Structures are given as structure tokens and as C-alpha cells.
A = this chain, B = another copy of it.
Amino acid sequence: MPRRVDHDERRRELTAALLRIASTRGLQAVSMREVAAEAGVSLRVVQYYFTDKRTLMASGIAELAGRLDRRVRERAAALGTELEPRAVLEVVLGAILPTDDDSRADQLAWTAYYAAGLTTPADAVDGRYAPDALERWLTGVVARAVEEGRVVADADPRIEVVSLLALTNGLVSSVLGQQRTVDDAQAVVRYRLDRLFRPAAG
């Protein structure tokens, strides 16, 4: 059996199996044996490529952070270099919402990790989905819109962005909990953007 093996590739497969379990049966159902079974390999293989369970779990959150970040970045890049500030916000916030099965699964796993990290700061969220970087970028976008008079003049760019991100976060929760559809959530985001982006008033 022992061909020469691409370790990174193998780890990716195992991590994907882990995330599949986490998003369907929860982080609690993730054991080394379950990951092995989901990936169709023996327990020993999981042990071999991730010595610890801690290492395995860490790989899961890292992959997840990468995926979510990639989703936002790709959509942002897809809309060209210079688009209206409003379109930027709509696309970026829309990229956070769980619009298809894949992003829904990732958001479920993400939520599980986040909740676990709240009470077990050990394996807490590291990459953290770079909310600060995102927040700063969008704040710049809104600030520019204010200068150009496309937004109510007395709007505070930072707080507007913070509240938009928190709103989106809250909507993600309710969509995952099936108290709301994605379409409803998107409508709420658009409503907020409509009220923010108009030269006249607040």
C-alpha cells in the first residue's frame, strides 16, 4: 500500500469529512473514528495525518475560515475594480448569507465552532474570519460614499458598517434556524441599504 502520498491533499480530504460531520450532526458528533468512517479510511490514518484531536479540530476551523474568506473575496473581485459603494456592500453582505447548500453547511459548522469557542477559549476561533479587516474595508467604502454625497450626510460610516455586519450576522442565525428564508434575509439587507444610500436624509 504505502505509495508516496500527498499529505496536504490527504489532510484536505479528512478535514472535509470532519466539516461534513460538523455541519450535519454537530461538533459533538466529531470523533476521530467518525471522521475516519466518513472519509472511508481507518482510524490509524486520521491519527497519522493529525496526531492530536486538537490538531484535527484546528484544521477544521482553519479550512472554514479560508472558505468563508474566499467566498467574500471572490464575489468582491467579481464585481470589477470600481463599482458603486452600495453594490459593494450588497455583494459582500450577500456573500455572508447562506445562499446555497455549501455556504449553509459552512455557516452551520462555523456557528458550531463559534459556540464551542465561547466556552472553550482553548480551541477558539483564530483566523476569526478577519472581521476587523472586513469592517475597516467596508467603513472606507461607506466613508467614500458619504464624501460623494450618495449617503445621508450625518451618517457615521463606522457604526453603519458595524450595524450592517451585526445585522447580517443575526440574519444568518435566523436563516440557519429556519425562522426566516434567505430571500427574506436578503430583502432586509436591501431595505437597510436602500435607507442608507439616498442623498436626502437619514
Contacts and interface: CB of A to CB of B under 8 A. Distances in A.
Number of copies: 2
Size band of the A side of the interface?
Answer: 35 or more
Interface string A18-41: 000011111111000000000000
B115 A119 contact: no
A80 interface: no
A162 interface: yes
Contact of A115 (B111, B152, B155, B168): B111
- Name the prevailing secondary structure of the A interface residues: helix
A149 interface: no
A131 interface: yes
Contact of A170 (B28, B108, B120, B167): B167
Contacts of A163: 167, 188, 191-192
B191 A118 contact: no
A179 interface: yes
A181 interface: no
A156 B119 contact: no
